[in-house]
Structures are given as structure tokens and as C-alpha cells.
Amino acid sequence: MAAYAEYAHAVKELAARYQMIAAARGLVSGPIPLEPTPEILKEVGELESRRSALSETLGLLGDTEANTASKTVDHCLWRLELLARGIATEVEQNWDQAYLDFREARSRYVAHARASLGVSGAVAQDVTWPAAWRPTTGTSPSE
């Protein structure tokens, strides 16, 4: 269970950093912009190393479906990194779609991890955020 949870947290943390770097480049609004200084890139590299090590643990302990889902998450995460850092790809890509793809892939990973652990049902039921609590600027709170 810890291997599944730690990996899920690591990829969420990396995606948040990439989103902040993307905000500094004007690709997304909402999160606090984070300039990709050498120190920040070093931190992100360390987070990526941690994600990679946790991925190895999943390979040893996880079931086939969860491990396969984690590979899709990895690919989505690397796509976010390329976009955030402004690294060209063969096909032009959109940050919003890439981030949505990441979130969906992470949700599938969580569902497969839960199934592997024998946890049934949905992660949570939908809960509507009260309108009075919503920001008026068009931004949304961090997850």
C-alpha cells in the first residue's frame, strides 16, 4: 500500500512543480509562478529521481494493471515537463489538454492500485464546492 501511495504523491508533487513552471512561462494561470532557476531545476531533478525509484518499487510489488497505469502516468508527467520547460516536440501540444490527460491517467492509476489492494468502490463521491467559496478571478484552488 505504501508503494502505491508514495508513487501517487510523488507524481502529484512533480506535476504541481511543472504547473508552477508553466505558469512562469504564461502557459497556465492560477498557481504561483516558479521560474526555472538552476536551483529549482535541481529540486525537480531530485523529485524525478524519487519518482523513478518509487516506480522501481512498484515494478517489484504492484500488479500488472497498476504498473501499466503508472507507465502512462510517467509519460503524461514527462509531457508536462517538456511543455513547462519549453522543449519542442514533434507535434505542437496544449498545456491544458496535457494536464487533463495527466489527471485522468493518475486517476486510472489510483483506481487500479485500489483494485489491486482489494479496496472496492469509487475513491470519493462528487461533492459540489459551494458557489460562495469559489474565487471570482477564474482561478481554482490547488488540489
Sequential pLDDT tens for the chain (143 residues): 999 999 999 999 999 999 999 999 999 987 799 999 999 999 999 999 999 999 999 999 999 999 999 999 999 999 999 999 999 888 888 999 999 999 999 999 999 999 999 998 777 778 888 888 877 765 555 54
pTM, two decimal places:
0.85
Residue 143 has a pLDDT of 47
> What pLDDT score was predicted for residue 93?
85
The pLDDT score that the predictor gives to residue 123 is 79
- The pLDDT of residue 138 is 56
The predicted structure's pLDDT at residue 137:
67
C-alpha cell at 80: 508536462
pLDDT at residue 41 in the model: 94
